Amino acid sequence: EVQLVESGGGLVQPGRSLKLSCVASGFTFNNYWMTWIRQAPGKGLEWVASITNTGGSTYYPDSVKGRFTISRDNAKSTLYLQMNSLRSEDTATYYCTRPWYFDYWGQGVMVTVSS
């Protein structure tokens, strides 16, 4: 059974950092690109970052480029999202999923950026 389990969310002040994790199981992690999607409260879904299966390439929208870093540890079947210089508009539930398929999603982890 495929499972994606996110962790690391919480309340953080503007300008501070937070690192999210997503532990994968039930599939061969190093065969798949991975991505982070977020959803602000009461809003739609927004792509945040993607990484190739080897970790050799990463992709970001302009809204997070230079502040967020996606990475992975294939030995641990774990995806990460390092979020720096957080802003109030980064407040959202963050999900990990497999792009090109978007078939399995984690349960989501809430990040609240507020003073």
Partner 1 sequence: DIQMTQSPSSMSVSLGDTVTITCRASQDVGIYVNWFQQKPGKSPRRMIYRATNLADGVPSRFSGSRSGSDYSLTISSLESEDVADYHCLQYDEYPPTFGGGTKLELK
Contact residues: partner 1, CB under 8 A: 35, 44-47, 50, 59, 61, 95, 99-103, 105-108
As measured in angstroms, the least distance from the Cβ of 50 to partner 1 is 8
DSSP state at residue 61: -
Work out the angle at residue 96's Cα, subtended by the Cα atoms of residues 52 and 3, and round it to the nearest 5 degrees.
Answer: 105
Indicate the residue among 13 and 100 with the shorter CB distance to partner 1: 100
Indicate the residue among 10 and 61 with the shorter CB distance to partner 1: 61
As measured in angstroms, the least distance from the Cβ of 7 to partner 1 is 15
21, 10 Cβ separation under 8 angstroms: no
As measured in angstroms, the least distance from the Cβ of 15 to partner 1 is 26
Question: Which residue in the block uniquely carries the two structure tokens 């990990």?
Answer: 96
Indicate the residue among 10 and 15 with the shorter CB distance to partner 1: 10
Q: Rounded to whole angstroms, how far apart are CA atoms 81 and 94?
A: 10
